[in-house]
Structure 1
Amino acid sequence: MLPVDEKLVDIPKINAQTIKLLNLSIGFGLIIGLWLIWGNILPAFSFLDEIVLWDHKATVDGKDIFQPITLTNLMLSGLYIFVMVIAVSNFSGLMELFLFRRLDMEPGSRYAINQLAKYVLISIGLIAVANELGGSWSQVQWLVAALGVGLGFGLQEIFANLVSGIIILFERPIRIGDTVTIGDVSGKVSRIQMRATTIIDWDQKELIVPNKNFITNQLVNWTLSDAITRIVIPVGIAYGSDIELAYKVMMDTIKSTPTVLAEPEPSVLFLGFGESSLNFTLHIYVSELRNRLPTTHDLHFRLEKAFRENNIEIPFPQRDVYIRRDKPADKTE
């Protein structure tokens, strides 16, 4: 079984996050209690507002004024960053405890919600910090314009991957745990991030695939809506064999193979006459992708044994070679 980042319910992780959240709640409760008790002496800390670190220009009622950034603003920014980090690191456990466990929701949906919510929390935290430190749109608009030009040239691939990552999280053409084939890469999806998706292939190698490939290239998702897949096995028997007996033997062998599904119904079709054999094809269905190779292996063993017991020959290419010997020409003197 290939490892993936997400499990249905990660009990140890949730317990650790619950304990951490409980400790943080107790800590915040103590801080609020101390603030209520010692609130009368808080004005003594007003000297922090007098320690000016720098000034920034702001527009108030159409007028440009300089507003000071004090040590208090810097400390509040640090508090915002601390709260943002705690919220982002514990959000998934909090949602699992209070929401997801009460809803019948697929793991991929939970992962998408957690990832998008983390991006929103990070954005809110950064905006709050920038606002506290005097950041404004007028100061970053030229940076945004320059970034737009950069995206149009050198960063367009990175931007395309970021947008594709958001599309993947919303449309969900792939989910955590899905088995996919993209180009010549096949494996199980273990992680979906903003820029790239991690796939673990059958050799247990982690392959980093840019998200743009999943949107613009042809993608095969073996487990998106139904994990059942069909296996086609060609079989040839020798000319002169009893084809009705061969058909019955193959059907009985298929039905006796435990990993072959009864629904959809398997079938044996007589395709035609080959150079050295009567050609049949077996259509069978398995419940999971990982059962394809073991089922093919098992069925080959069973078919060979059944043919041997019923004297049905599996042919191999044969050629008849005729050697023509011409009479030597008469010698004339």
Structure 2
Amino acid sequence: MTQDNAQHTIQETTSTWDKVVDLLSYQIDITEKVHITILQILIVLLVFILTSYLLKLIRRLVTRKLPEEDKLKFVSFFSFIKYFIYIVVILVTLDNTGFNVTAIFAASAALLVGIGLALQTLFQDIISGVFILLDQTVHVGDIIEIDGKVGRVEKINLRTTRAVTIDNKVLIIPNHKYLTSILYNWTENGSLTRENIEVGVAYGSDTELVKNILLEVALAHPKVRKKPEPLVLLTNFGDSALNFKLIFSMNDSFIAGIPKSDMRFEIDKRFREHNISIPFPQREVRVYQADETSLDQNKSE
């Protein structure tokens, strides 16, 4: 009786294992000539998960002792290459498990061409992103201006660049914009940038006094660098004003609008104290009225 139970248990185990084997061997038809089994799908998923964990481990090991700036650069670059690694690993795994990779490419050639045309912009974004890293046009932390929008770059992704404006609004910039539009990188040469304020004063004003006031206002502001020293230029003799330009340097041009506003308030206050007027455009209109004799003659005619 004990022998019968043991044989029955072995038969049940064998039967269950055969069912599992049959399930894993079950084929899913992709095309008439290309098939994939459940076992192959499970192997691909397992390899994908292991690759993902391995890439995360490599990223942590490499960036552990890097400076913060270099760490951000490596993370941006790593986000590009990991997708290519995933594709290569999956294709190699499928090929080693007996999946006919060549046949699937040949069978879906027309489909791949259609997808390629539909995803043309996506490919442009990806290629542009690679160029950004290779030629070092844009770095994380740079202040850029593109299509009239200004923002600080926070992250360079595979397809887009994420930047934040001074209003704390997020700019999502497709990477192909860097190839098709003019890009201004405010911090390519370093964080030190030159800013300016333009102001006009009435003719007859003491130009030396105007120059001294502008320099004093600039030097008194805590955000303005003392070296290089601020500079005042008399740029033009305008139609109704003498035009001056105050040039100064700052370490953070991203917030330049606030110091500029502070200085404009102070300039207006100092000008009022010294009776220096800021003119506004004026037009003189003259109306000529014809005499009554001329009007009567025109009527009689």
Which category describes the TM-score, using the shorter chain as reference length? 0.7 to 0.9
Give the conservation status (yes or no) of the 8 Å contact 1:88–1:122.
Answer: no
Give the conservation status (yes or no) of the 8 Å contact 1:266–1:282.
Answer: yes
3-state DSSP of counterpart to 1:282: strand
TM-score by length of structure 2 reads 0.73
Q: How far off its partner does 1:161 sit?
A: 2.0
Q: Say yes or no: does 1:175 pair with 2:139.
A: yes
Q: How far off its partner does 1:87 sit?
A: 2.4
Give the conservation status (yes or no) of the 8 Å contact 2:76–2:155.
Answer: no
Give the conservation status (yes or no) of the 8 Å contact 1:178–1:188.
Answer: yes
3-state DSSP of counterpart to 2:163: strand
- 2:104 aligned to which of 115, 131, 140: 140
Give the conservation status (yes or no) of the 8 Å contact 1:237–1:313.
Answer: yes
Give the equivalent residue in structure 2 for 1:164: 128
Q: Say yes or no: does 1:213 pair with 2:180.
A: no
Between structure 1 and structure 2, the one with the greater Rg is: 2
Change (3 A) 1:195 1:104: closer
- Equivalenced residue count is 269
Q: How far off its partner does 1:300 sit?
A: 1.0
Q: How far off its partner does 1:296 sit?
A: 0.7
The code of the aligned residue for 1:273 comes to: F
Give the conservation status (yes or no) of the 8 Å contact 1:69–1:134.
Answer: no
Give the equivalent residue in structure 1 for 2:61: 94
Q: How far off its partner does 1:180 sit?
A: 1.7
Give the equivalent residue in structure 1 for 2:52: 85
Give the conservation status (yes or no) of the 8 Å contact 1:189–1:198.
Answer: yes
**Pairwise CA RMSD of aligned residues?**
3.6
Gaps of 5+ in 1: 1-46, 57-67
3-state DSSP of counterpart to 1:258: coil
Q: Say yes or no: does 1:110 pair with 2:74.
A: yes
Task: Write the deviation string for residues 281-308 of structure 1: whole angstroms up to 9, x where unpaired.
Answer: 1122221122311111111122122223
Give the equivalent residue in structure 2 for 1:51: 21
Counterpart-to-counterpart distance in 1, 2:290 and 2:179:
70
3-state DSSP of counterpart to 1:283: strand
Counterpart-to-counterpart distance in 2, 1:290 and 1:82:
41
3-state DSSP of counterpart to 2:256: helix
Question: Identity percentage over the alignment?
Answer: 29
Q: Name which of structure 1's ranges 218-227 and 128-137 shifts more when overlaid on structure 2.
A: 128-137
Give the conservation status (yes or no) of the 8 Å contact 1:74–1:133.
Answer: no
Task: Write the deviation string for residues 141-182 of structure 1: whole angstroms up to 9, x where unpaired.
Answer: 315633552256333222222222222233332222322222
Give the equivalent residue in structure 2 for 1:305: 269
TM-score by length of structure 1 reads 0.67
Change (3 A) 1:247 1:201: closer
Counterpart-to-counterpart distance in 2, 1:198 and 1:107:
17
Give the equivalent residue in structure 2 for 1:247: 211
Q: How far off its partner does 1:217 sit?
A: 1.8
Counterpart-to-counterpart distance in 2, 1:191 and 1:262:
33
Change (3 A) 1:263 1:291: farther
